[in-house]
């Protein structure tokens, strides 16, 4: 049996570890892992060398989003113990050649797109992390309103994290998003706040929540639409998509006078 050099990390199932790492890469606009969305087209492992191909619902998906996901995928796979080299390529996109060349050269976002890169990836990530927090906040509050009929939308201004049911998917998701944007996680922290920690006045609480609901509906609607587009563009890709209905309770269109689902 050939001896393994001491510096080599042996991973029994490297492909499984790579896929798990890709599960931590999130579509910034849809706020879902690229593995759940079916955006990972293939993973090929040859010893310690890994090649990943990504696909998107259309050939004209925003180039900055496409690059961000591909770059994050490359970084995630490169960090997996046992991976010696990684190639990530985006297939069938109008900017595939530019993006793949930039990734291979480690040129970075601005180096890849030059003067077309109007904002940094950090700014882009920050924008969508704020939106993801807003949507997660709305889901958690709406789930509580639906389970506790004594609460109204005017009451939610007083909610703290300690009022949310521990362990519930919507609560766990909100805590995760709050950590990402740097909000406090203690039980006494108010739930109804922007990503910068600013909350509404009592008389504006219901409007604040409804605006948050519009953000959540937009994100969930786009995710649903993009999943359908991917299945149309790549027949059979639906088998690679994972629903997340447990974290995303649907709000019926019919509501009562308090704005709570009937």
Tally Cβ neighbours within 10 Å of residue 6. 5
**131's torsion region: left (phi>0), alpha (psi -120 to 50) or beta?**
alpha
Q: Write down the pTM of the prediction.
A: 0.82
The tens digit of pLDDT for each residue in 131-167 reads 999 999 999 999 999 998 888 888 899 999 999 999 9
Distance, CA of 67 to CA of 65 (rounded, Å): 5
- Cβ atoms 52, 111 nearer than 8 A: no
Task: For the domain made up of 15-113, give the CATH fold.
Answer: GMP Synthetase; Chain A, domain 3 (3.30.300)
**Domain extents for the chain?**
15-113, 121-240
SS3 state at 231: helix
Joined together, the tokens standing for residue 28 give 């910034």
Looking at residue 117, its pLDDT comes to 66
Backbone angles phi, psi at 48, to 5 degrees: -105, 10
Please write down the long-range contacts of 116-122, taking CB distance under 8 Å and 24 or more positions apart.
Answer: 116/63, 117/64, 119/64, 121/64, 121/67, 121/68, 121/71
Task: Give, rounded to a whole angstrom, the gap between the first and last alpha carbons of the chain.
Answer: 68
Looking at residue 153, its pLDDT comes to 84
Tens of each residue's pLDDT in the chain, 262 residues: 444 343 444 456 999 999 999 999 999 899 999 999 999 999 999 999 999 999 999 999 999 999 999 999 999 999 999 999 999 999 999 999 999 999 999 999 888 988 666 667 788 889 999 999 999 999 999 999 999 888 888 889 999 999 999 999 999 999 999 999 999 999 999 999 999 999 999 999 999 999 999 999 999 999 999 999 999 999 999 999 998 655 454 444 334 444 444 3
* Closest CA relative to residue 223, chosen from 239, 205, 199, 243: 243
| Nearest-10 Cα torsion for 211, 171, 230, 63 | 60
- Cβ atoms 82, 71 nearer than 8 A: no
């Amino acid at each position: 049996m050939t001896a393994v050099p001491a510096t080599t990390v042996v991973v029994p199932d490297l492909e499984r570890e790579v896929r798990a790492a890709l599960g931590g890469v999130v579509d910034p606009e849809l706020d879902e892992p690229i593995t759940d969305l079916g955006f990972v087209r293939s993973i090929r492992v040859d010893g310690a060398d890994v090649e990943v191909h990504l696909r998107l619902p259309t050939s004209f998906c925003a180039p900055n989003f496409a690059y961000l996901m591909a770059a994050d995928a490359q970084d995630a796979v490169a960090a997996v113990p046992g991976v010696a080299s990684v190639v990530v390529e985006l297939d069938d996109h109008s900017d595939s050649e530019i993006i793949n060349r930039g990734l291979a050269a480690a040129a970075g976002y601005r180096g890849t797109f030059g003067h077309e890169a109007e904002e940094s990836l950090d700014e882009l990530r920050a924008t969508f992390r704020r939106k993801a927090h807003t949507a997660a906040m709305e889901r958690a509050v709406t789930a509580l309103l639906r389970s506790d009929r004594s609460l109204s939308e005017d009451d939610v201004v007083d909610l703290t994290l300690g009022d949310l049911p521990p362990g519930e998917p919507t609560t766990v998701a909100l805590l995760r998003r709050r950590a990402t944007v740097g909000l406090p996680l203690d039980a006494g922290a108010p739930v109804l706040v922007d990503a910068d920690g600013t909350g509404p006045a009592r008389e504006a609480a219901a409007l604040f929540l409804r605006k948050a609901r519009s953000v959540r509906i937009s994100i969930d609607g786009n995710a649903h639409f993009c999943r359908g587009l991917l299945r149309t563009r790549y027949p059979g890709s639906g088998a690679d998509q994972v629903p997340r209905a447990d974290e995303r309770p649907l709000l019926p269109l019919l509501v009562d006078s308090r704005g709570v689902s009937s």
